Amino acid sequence: MAVTDLVLEGGGAKLPGLVGAVNALTSADYSIHRIAGTSAGAIVGALTTAGIPPESLVETVLDKDFTDFEDLNPVFDLVPWLGKIQGLLFHKGMYLGTAIHDFLDDALAAQGIRTWGDLRLDDPDSALPPPPPPERQYRLVVIVSDVSRGRMLRLPWDYQSALGVNPDSQSVAEAVCASAATPFFFRPRSLPADPSVAGGDSVLGADGGLLSNFPVGIFDRKDEKPARWPTLGVMLSARETAETQWRPNANTYQYAVSLLSTMINAHDRRHIDEPSVTDRTIFVDTADHSSTDFALTRTDKLDLIDSGDTAAMEFLSTWDWQTWKERYDRR
């Protein structure tokens, strides 16, 4: 059985594409050691590292009505448009985010996972400085944007140093929900903090994709030892060429969209364009779907799952770990 670490890109409602890719990897006898993810990648990563079999996760995704996640204050059940405006104006997001939190909390609890202490990983031979610091000994890492202080959080790694709290007592579901809190769609999450460290007793955590939607290098070794196994990535887009990356910016609207895309993607783009990264990344073509359209039919979900499965199998048909190491990592 081959071993790999995995990095999952964020993509909102395109989440089934990640599930399809993960299912294909495990069906091909890959054992996933650790997962890092942002937004939808954080959700799939949490459910996978909690021990839910990928084939069961496929059924869960197919059975779940994603529009349940678009939860409004019940006061506005008869006038949902007013509830969206009220949430956006007074709570920084149209939807409560309670439904996603409860879904995750229940699914994780069924696997015996509630706090980060339940996701501890004993890995003395990791790339981290010997002995590996306890704040990094976990099976999962999720990316969150700390909008209170304008910085990226890698949770649970940064709980102690950046927030001054013990990671083992913090909720996994809460951190994942923060990572998935798409700006203006879902309310940001309040993460507890020590005022002497963070400057306040909490920080607002929002979509990690604002700062790093594909943290592909997070598990790469920084010492002189050779990597024990690869870190593979899964992106929810087809591999881009110079032509598909180019934007005309013919008007103010297109220019604004390009500015937003640049702010979100530029941090990761410099890594994604490196051959050493593209050659270890599974590109799932999800062009026919929107990351913010949660009204997915079963057919839509099956299409995304099949796209993930196909992309992963095509990748594995040519992937060779030894060849990659000889080309890019000769330590």
Residue carrying the six token digits 């649970």: 156
3-state SS, residue 142: strand
Specify whether 293 is catalytic: no
Cα gap 232→30, rounded to integer Å: 11
Helix then strand then coil, in percent of the chain rounded to 5, is: 45, 15, 35
Specify whether 207 is catalytic: yes
Active-site residue among 5, 39, 158, 307?
A: 39
The tokens for 330 are 């000769």
Cα gap 81→73, rounded to integer Å: 11
CB-CB neighbours of 43 under 10 Å: 27
DSSP letter string, 37-74: EETHHHHHHHHHHTT--HHHHHHHHHHS-GGGGS---G
Active-site residue among 207, 268, 303, 309?
A: 207
CB-CB neighbours of 15 under 10 Å: 29
Residues labelled catalytic: 39, 207
